[in-house]
Amino acid sequence: MPPLSPRKFIIGNWKMNGLSASLVEARAIAQHATQCPQVDVALCPPVSLLATVHRVAPNLRLGGQECHQEQSGAYTGCISAAMLADAGAQFVLIGHSERRQYFGEDEKLLTAKITAARAAGLDVILCVGEPQAVREAGQEIPYVLAQLAVIASIAPESCARLTIAYEPIWAIGTGLTAGYAQITIMHRAIRGALRECYGVQGDALRILYGGSVTAENAAVILKCGDVDGALVGGASLSAATFLPIIDSA
């Protein structure tokens, strides 16, 4: 069964990029988004720009790139889910491979972060994806399905607030993208896991692809089976490279 929400979801993840001068890009993206009501467009700016982007582009859907698992407290340098929501975020990325790799985020921590995000009213974009060695060993499906086990912490009543982003690590920032068959097979497996967890409601959840998505390859990627949008890093940093991706959705 096709997803119940036919609109593609295109998210730009600026990672640790963007100063005040980048607000001009955010404004251009927001303006374009209003002209593309058939696509859900969102941006995850660095937290330093979140509230300002929300102020200058109030119609643009915004997300945080990560959140702490506690609501508040003595955690110097950290951002809570409630702070993200207060700054204008509607969702948060959880489990991006860079967080898993550089900050040692494991299943237990990610489960706590998902709970914190939900408690603050944020939607969750759960990122999953295998490293190159796992794919070479032919183990990518069990690996990704094991990463998906954390969704058990989201009850079926609130699963509509969940989106999955499949981002093979070997494709992030490398210029390599997974092929049509690789993407379709993985997204079908993820769809199966969502269905197993949530029944028919799992069919309505969106599964995004990420990893070197560009204006050149977006149209083909977005046509792959069970691909409901894209999580875009490098190509989302400027309107010139991001708007054509929105247009191909």
The window from 29-37, 77-85, 153-161, 233-241 that contacts ligand PGA (CB under 6 A) reads 233-241
Cite the active site residues: 96, 167
- Residues written for the chain: 249
Quick one: which of 68, 234, 239, 248 contacts ligand PGA (CB under 6 A)?
Answer: 234
Stretch that binds ligand PGA, among 107-115, 184-192, 208-216, 219-227 (CB under 6 A): 208-216
DSSP single-letter state for residue 44: E
Q: Which residue is nearest to ligand PGA (CB)?
A: 233
- Phi, then psi, of 142 in degrees rounded to 5: -60, -35
Residue 173 contacts ligand PGA per CB under 6 A: yes
Q: Which helix (H) or strand (E) holds 114?
A: helix 107-119
167 binds ligand PGA (CB under 6 A): yes
Q: Among residues 13, 65, 69, 248, which is the contact residue for ligand PGA, using CB under 6 A?
A: 13
Other residues' Cβ atoms within 10 Å of the Cβ of residue 174: 12
Considering only the stretches 31-39, 118-126, 166-174, 193-201, report the one whose residues sit in contact with ligand PGA under the rule CB under 6 A.
Answer: 166-174
The rounded Cα 85 to chain-centroid distance in angstroms is 16
**Residue 53 vs 232, nearer CB to ligand PGA:** 232
- Closest CB 206 distance from ligand PGA, rounded Å: 15
- The conformation of residue 48, written as its DSSP 8-state character, comes to H
Strand 162-166 and strand 229-232: the pairing is: unpaired
213 belongs to the binding site for ligand PGA (CB under 6 A): yes
Which tokens go with 246? 């929105």
Q: Which residues of 35-69 are buried (b: 16+ CB within 10 A; e: fewer)?
A: ebeebbbbbbbbbebbbbbbeebeebbbbbbbbbb
Question: Which letter does DSSP use for residue 65 in this model?
Answer: S
**Total site size for ligand PGA, rule CB under 6 A:** 13
Answer for which of 89, 122, 159, 172 binds ligand PGA (CB under 6 A) is 172
Tell me if 177 contacts ligand PGA by CB under 6 A. no
Q: By the criterion CB under 6 A, which residues form the site for ligand PGA?
A: 13, 167, 172-173, 210-213, 231-235
